[in-house]
Each structure stands twice: as structure tokens, then as C-alpha cells.
Amino acid sequence: MTAWSTAPAGPGAPPLLTEQAADIEQIWDAFFYIALGVGALVVALLAWVILRYRHRDDVLPRQRHAHIPLEIGYTVVPLLIVVGLFAVTFGSVRAIDELGDDTDLVVEVTGFQWQWQFEYPESGLTVVGDETTDPELVLPAGATVRFEMTSLDVIHSFWIPAFRFKRDVIPGIVTRFEVDVTDATGTFPEAGVCAEFCGLDHHKMGFGVRVVTADEFETWAAQEAGR
């Protein structure tokens, strides 16, 4: 597991590999800067109270029972922030949950203790990792890819930080999501991990991601099928 495979968005974060990742990154940024602002306000108010009302004599500062506008303000403003963040998050998750009619490729992901298997049903291909070798998830650039995921044993979580998205992989249930892979090609070793602690060798559930052109994908699939 490389440092960046669990790093949040920001400097050093992996490149965005899906169209949806850019939206999600914006939401992460919004959360970050709003949290920073709220944190700064709290620290500033604390510092002001500590300094302004520090113990100087035994006279209490002026006591006040209620301040209605202030109380309404500090209830309504956080509520608006939470509702706003919920709304944008809901929108972006729905964009990934919505399965369109123009899927180019289906990848069936199976998590198990302690590796991953990627199946490409249309080409009859199976890529599976083992103790010593991480599997590589090969994706065609520019394609709309649907992931259909399940687990053979316990709950895992399929996490490609470059997607800025992860989803639980649950035994007995198929979870799905769909993303549009960007046009950039490249090889990203250790780009994926399991993000749900699933036992002793949980940390060994890494996998690589390789994004190739549509033609290269066909060639790869034909080669693998011929093996």
C-alpha cells in the first residue's frame, strides 16, 4: 500500500480517473474548507472568551439569560451547512448509482480473504490475484464501466482513490456502480485497496489499475482469452 493509496484529495492525491471523480473531489474540497472555516471560528471565539473573560477579580461578567437572534443563528446556519452538504453529496452519489443504458463494459468484482477477482463476462476473462501477485484491473479509456461486486466471505470495500469513491462488497448481495473512465491512459500500480478491515491479511488486498485505449483493450482481452 503506497502512501497515496489512502491519501485524501489534495497535493499528492492520485490523478482523477473518472469523470465523476472531479465532482466528488469538489465536494471533498467543500467539506474541507467549510470545516476549516467552522474550526477557525470556534478557535477564535474560544480564544476571545479566554482572553476577554480571564480571571482578574472576583466580579462575574455581565450575565444574560437568552439571546434569541444569536440562538436562532447558531441553529440555522449549521443546519443550512449540513443540508447543503447532504444535498451535493446525495447528487454525486446518485450520479454513480444510476445505471445508464450506454454501458460499454461490465466488470464483476469479487472480494475474498484476501484478494480480488475481476471478471469481464463479455470477453469471458477472469483476472485474479493471489498471495504474492496483485491483480490488475484493466479498463478502456473513455468507457462507461459498470462494476458489479460481491464477496465470498466477509465484507470488503472496493476503493480506488483515483475514483474518489468506494463501496462495500458484501457477501450474498451484489452492489453496483457506474463511472465514466476519463480519456487519460496510464498504469497505476497499487491504485486500489480494500477499505474495510477484513482479517489478518487485509492489507494484502491491493490491486493495480491500468487504463488503455479501446484498441489496446481489445488486444489485451484477446491475448488473455487465448492463454
* Strand extents, DSSP E, the chain: 105-112, 115-120, 125-128, 136-140, 144-151, 156-160, 165-169, 175-180, 186-194, 207-212
CA distances from 61 to 48, 55, 56, 153 (A): 14, 10, 11, 62
Contact in structure between 163 and 14 (CB atoms under 8 Å)? no
Task: Give the shortest CB-111-to-Cu ion separation in angstroms.
Answer: 6
Instruction: Give 27: exposed, middle or buried? Use CB within 10 Å, 0-12, 13-18, 19+.
Output: middle
Cβ nearer to Cu ion, comparing 17 with 194: 194
Cβ nearer to Cu ion, comparing 140 with 192: 192
Cβ nearer to Cu ion, comparing 85 with 170: 170
Cβ nearer to Cu ion, comparing 209 with 221: 209
- Nearest-angstrom CA–CA distance, 60 and 95: 56
Task: Give the shortest CB-171-to-Cu ion separation in angstroms.
Answer: 12
Task: Give the shortest CB-168-to-Cu ion separation in angstroms.
Answer: 10
Task: Give the shortest CB-206-to-Cu ion separation in angstroms.
Answer: 10
Cβ nearer to Cu ion, comparing 133 with 219: 133
Contact in structure between 162 and 15 (CB atoms under 8 Å)? yes
Task: Give the shortest CB-7-to-Cu ion separation in angstroms.
Answer: 19
Binding stretches for Cu ion (CB under 5 A): 156, 194, 198, 205
Q: Which residues contact 22 (CB under 8 A, 6 or more apart)?
A: 16
- Nearest-angstrom CA–CA distance, 55 and 70: 25
- Nearest-angstrom CA–CA distance, 179 and 102: 11
Instruction: Give 31: exposed, middle or buried? Use CB within 10 Å, 0-12, 13-18, 19+.
Output: middle
Cβ nearer to Cu ion, comparing 181 with 194: 194
Task: Give the shortest CB-199-to-Cu ion separation in angstroms.
Answer: 7
